Structure 1
């Protein structure tokens, strides 16, 4: 009987120990890997929704890179771009086209948007750009300087005068005392750059950043006068922006990081 009672006591003590040990395990041993499965949720005030950006054609590559980076940071934010000549973009806005952000290739076109009442607040300069005398790889027209743009035997492309690259081209030609004889007036700088890259023009005045974007297909002939002709690029949130919070986040990214790094790598000058 004593041995039986002793056995029961030992068994009871063992059960008590197991029970206590189980309680301790419940407090500290979560299922394996549970802690590592935690994900970082977007902050409650993180930008979300769709942001429509009207931007100068020369910003195409840089802004698309920016959209990719912002998409990684803000998965609920979608940026939709419409690229084109700045003057045409402003005309769209003044005609009632819905958008959240406007980025132009000069201050004149942005001033038109401000005067038209479609800009909310003060536009911010986020980059600058200069012109380049661009020729196809190998320079088949033997272009040596701006004076060659007056040569009627060469195929010359220049942006239309009402768009920023055309206005800058005219200022540059005036400074050099050259009267160009263009065969083609392009609607935006990308069209002119494409003509050079395809070898369909012998020379064109385009932005330095667009010449760089074409890679080895385009060469640049040094033009000292171009240093004195610089276009400022402004950006602004629009008055009737459907997504003003998202629009502001995009503008902040353009004027800060990562926008400034991306623009600098593309060859834009600091504001």
Structure 2
């Protein structure tokens, strides 16, 4: 049986900013989609991140500092719940879909460290797997396609509705539906065993990062370093450059490409 005909669980964060080392979780969602696309389980969280939420971030995901303080739960308890939920999914063998996993899973890892909690990696006894990342896979199967690779662009390309972008639940659901369509369209990944698919993405993400690094060294910064690790950036690494200029190449909040940061929060 192919993974595209089985259940998928999607994970998404909305955050205070774009840096995995310093920014915080504002909202999170873990959503299970059945083979027919129906949502059978979902968990969502609103956190009081304990810091001011920048106006730029609030404008994207709609959560203000005041709203988070009034309605959000303490971050330490929420991060524990989120990490436990993610680990349970992966421990079950169900694939975890994460758009730009390198960002979301690394930020969750840093939040666990911040509050003295076991990370997902520590809970599992190894790097989170199996993870399916629409960003990495789309670049792999359609390397030379022009245009954006942000979630909204992938939804448009694969014919998946995205009605409430930058809402963690909506983005999670859309990411899962995108990878299922991608697997149906590109049978060479759709029929691949999950272990092989995960390892393919490890190699693909490293190759994509190396290619970007070479480009940046030719055109912008001869000392540029782009993180190659996927799906979690090891701790104590120095932040590298974003995968795209910090302008309007992509919609704010979409996970189009950030080795250690995103071009916009959430």
- TM-score scaled to structure 2, two decimals? 0.27
- TM-score scaled to structure 1, two decimals? 0.27
